Amino acid sequence: MRLTVLLPLCCVLAVPAHAQHVAGVSGIHFNQGAPMAAPVNGYNAASFASISRSPDVGRAQKLIADGDYAEADALLARLIGQTSNRQVRFLKGVAKLGMGDAVAARRYFEKSLYSNRSGYPGAMSGLALAEIRLGNRDAAEDILQKLRYQQEKCRSDCDRAKPLDQAIAVVEKALT
């Protein structure tokens, strides 16, 4: 059940490679100098498939898609106290990264990282982006290697293939 819940989020939040190419976006790559004032390129309200039945999670997704990271952060802070849902922690990491707080983003991505024995590709790519923002290129490259290892084991026939491809593309682009 968890996989069916997390997989669509991985696909949606890892930013499609096409959107990266067309818009020149590197996933959830943020301006290094200041918090984001505009929406994260590649995201819009339709990009977020509401995984949880909670209207608050859907609202937080829309706020992030619209670039209103501070309001999403406040809403997600309240939700984190009510649930152990990894999706909420992942979204909190995206909001923190959008606000320019890479240290907090790293913490939330780490908390949303694992489902079963494999790392969640969306959280892994978010963690790599946070590490890059913090100046830890080696840590980001290690995460990229882990994503590539998962991709190699998965090949193209598993349900994680597309999210892994997207996560790898996001991290590779951010590292260049």
Hunting for tokens 């997600």 — which residue is that?
Answer: 76
Say how many C-beta atoms besides its own lie within 10 A of residue 114's C-beta.
13
CA angle 168/155/1 to nearest 5° reads: 85
Look up the CATH number of the domain holding residue 102. Answer: 1.25.40.10
Question: Containing domain of residue 108, as a range?
Answer: 2-175
- Residue 86 confidence class, pLDDT cut points 50, 70, 90: confident
pTM of the model: 0.69
DSSP bridge partners of 115:
118
Is the pLDDT score of 16 beyond 90?
no
Measured between its terminal Cα atoms, the distance across the chain in Å is 36
Lowest mean pLDDT among 35-39, 154-158, 160-164, 172-176: 35-39
Q: How many domains does the chain have?
A: 1
Lowest mean pLDDT among 11-25, 56-70, 76-90, 116-130: 11-25
Which is more confidently placed, 10 or 77?
Answer: 77
